[in-house]
A and B are shown apart, each in its own frame.
Chain A
Amino acid sequence: MSTESCENTNCCTPATAVAPAEAKWTKPHYRAEKDGNAYKVRVFLPGVAKSGVSVSLDKDTLTIEGVRSDTVEESWTPVFEEIKRDGYRLQLHLEVDIEEEKIEATVDDGVLNLTLPIAEAAKPKVIAVT
């Protein structure tokens, strides 16, 4: 599994390139690990509610987008600001066949938990010696 950096905000899709005002994304922190017959991916999306997360799979590219639901009132004066309020976007290239129908996604406390089961075709085969 490898990642594509999306720091260049115009790289992702033609759609985002057309609308530069909407094309500001932050790449979230994430962890991916193999757990038995599945890959487990945890994407840290603080400030994003369940309804703000979208996960899509196009061929072998998994795209995760998150829109923040926490707000800051306009009338507040910033003393200091470190949190980026752009949306999140992460693209993961899957190098292993995944059972697309069985992908599970849950969102808890600002963390997206993805379970990507490895397809039977991609599992190692034991060949019996006769």
Chain B
Amino acid sequence: MDATINQSIRPMKTIQYNYPKLAFGNDFRRLLRDAFEGFDGLGNLFERPARPANAPAADLYSSDEAYHVRVEVPGVRKEEVSVSLENSVLKIRATHEEGEGEARRVLNFDRSLAVPDDVDAEKIEAKLENGVLSITLTKQEAQKPKQIAIL
């Protein structure tokens, strides 16, 4: 009898909840709101929670070899953006200041995205072009089954 355990070891999975995309979500809420003025008891039941004002719009795509993130950060220069990945959360922060005195304006962007955990943290590339930050997160190579010898 073969005295080894053939086991494939996968890192723990991040549990992600995908909010259902229900077309009637908004209409349904409006209907309720009109019928019971001031009633908002269903809260975010049918909607993805609204983004805070300084959280830019983002896209996440998956391809065979990588995840692709797009974040809209218009007006921000390359050196003003910071991207970090920690515990499968991709954090994008950007601050842009311009003008002085009364004309001073500050643009603030802050967005965190839960990314799948099969990302190779060493192989992340980001570039900024025309106010859109593109991040490519390379997927880890499929983990090979690991033979564990029994002593």
A residues with CB within 8 A of B: 35, 42, 44-49, 69-70, 72-73, 75-84, 108-111
Contacts and interface: CB of A to CB of B under 8 A. Distances in A.
Count class of interface residues, chain B? 20 to 34
B69 to A, nearest CB: 9
Interface stretch (B1-9, B27-35, B128-136, B141-149): B128-136
A44 B131 contact: yes
Given A109-B130, A110-B131, A45 B61 contact: no
Nearest to B21: A80
Given A48-B130, A70-B129, A79-B62, A109 B75 contact: yes
B93 interface: no
B45 interface: no
29 contacts: A42-B75, A44-B74, A44-B75, A45-B130, A46-B74, A47-B130, A47-B132, A49-B130, A69-B130, A70-B70, A70-B132, A72-B68, A73-B61, A73-B63, A75-B64, A76-B62, A77-B62, A79-B62, A80-B18, A82-B51, A82-B57, A83-B58, A83-B72, A108-B75, A109-B75, A109-B77, A110-B73, A110-B131, A111-B75
Nearest to A50: B130
A67 B51 CA distance: 25
A58 B131 CA distance: 28
Nearest to A84: B57
Given A76-B62, A82-B59, 12 more contacts: A35-B103, A45-B74, A47-B132, A48-B130, A73-B63, A76-B63, A77-B63, A80-B59, A80-B60, A82-B57, A109-B75, A109-B130
Contacts of A84: 57
B68 A47 contact: no
Instruction: Point out which of B18, B59, B72, B74 has the most chain A C-beta atoms below 10 A from its C-beta.
Output: B74
A79 B73 contact: no
Nearest to A82: B57
A49 B51 CA distance: 26
Interface string B43-87: 000000001000001111111100110101111110000000000
A81 B130 contact: no
Contacts of A69: 130
Contact of A111 (B57, B60, B63, B74): B74
Contacts of B134: 70
A59 to B, nearest CB: 29
A112 to B, nearest CB: 9
Contact of A78 (B60, B103, B129, B132): B60
